[in-house]
Chains A and B, each alone.
Chain A
Amino acid sequence: AQSVTQLGSHVSVSEGALVLLRCNYSSSVPPYLFWYVQYPNQGLQLLLKYTTGATLVKGINGFEAEFKKSETSFHLTKPSAHMSDAAEYFCAVSRGTGNQFYFGTGTSLTVIP
């Protein structure tokens, strides 16, 4: 079975500070991992994904995430937070091609000016 745990339902950072959003997964097979961002009353926008290959993945808007198999983690980071980063972030795991997504409970990011 697949599952995703996002530690911290709310994270607040100061503008310019490091953003770290945590995601741990469980999967009986090599997972495909995704981070999505959702702004109020909007759908999901893909930030980045890991399927195979390099474990450090760079995405849009300066975000990146590192797949650590030994820790079963896929934490999302950004060196310097911007006000426009305030949104809800979802980590998701897929079992691979053709399989459904399982979403974490989400982390609401607040950026303090």
Chain B
Amino acid sequence: GAVVSQHPSWVICKSGTSVKIECRSLDFQATTMFWYRQFPKQSLMLMATSNEGSKATYEQGVEKDKFLINHASLTLSTLTVTSAHPEDSSFYICSARVGTSSYEQYFGPGTRLTVT
């Protein structure tokens, strides 16, 4: 149980275009989902916390207008990278929490974004 999927697993887009990444909890309802960014050989940096039905909470330094997060249902959160640039190329990982009081986070397999 507690499986989180991401789609796509790998995407290449041209500079200036937008790309959407989906994060789904497959066998549980996730009130809260998290979006992380990971640069090569580095750790995960939390970008934003996404709560179902409300606006996402962004970490300091993360542009909310560039990284649009939508959490419209208890099983789906999306991250849209708008007007992507090469510096947005990274590995994006989502995680989902079961319920509001759980400490457990279940991580998706990640999405590799390359902007050319």
A residues with a Cβ closer than 8 A to B are: 32, 36, 41-45, 49, 51, 90, 94, 96-106, 108
Contact = CB atoms under 8 A, between A and B. Distances in A.
Contact of B100 (A41, A44, A96, A98): A98
Contact of A104 (B4, B43, B46, B103): B43
Contact of B110 (A43, A101, A103, A106): A43
Interface of B: 4, 6, 32, 34, 41-46, 49, 91, 93, 95, 97, 100-105, 107-110, 112
B110 A41 contact: yes
B34 A100 contact: yes
Give me the 3 closest cross-chain CB pairs, A-B, nearest first. A43-B109, A44-B107, A97-B101
Instruction: Describe B's contact surface by its main secondary structure.
Output: strand
A97 B97 CA distance: 10
B103 A42 contact: no
Contacts, number: 53
Contacts of B102: 97-98
Nearest to A32: B103
A51 B42 contact: no
Given A104-B43, A105-B43, A106-B43, A99 B103 contact: yes
Given A32-B103, A96-B103, A98-B103, A44 B46 contact: no
10 contacts: A32-B103, A36-B107, A42-B110, A43-B6, A43-B107, A43-B110, A44-B95, A44-B107, A51-B103, A98-B103
B108 A43 contact: yes
B109 A103 contact: no
Given A90-B43, A90-B44, A106-B43, A97 B109 contact: no
Given A32-B103, A99-B103, 7 more contacts: A42-B109, A43-B4, A94-B103, A97-B101, A97-B102, A97-B103, A98-B102
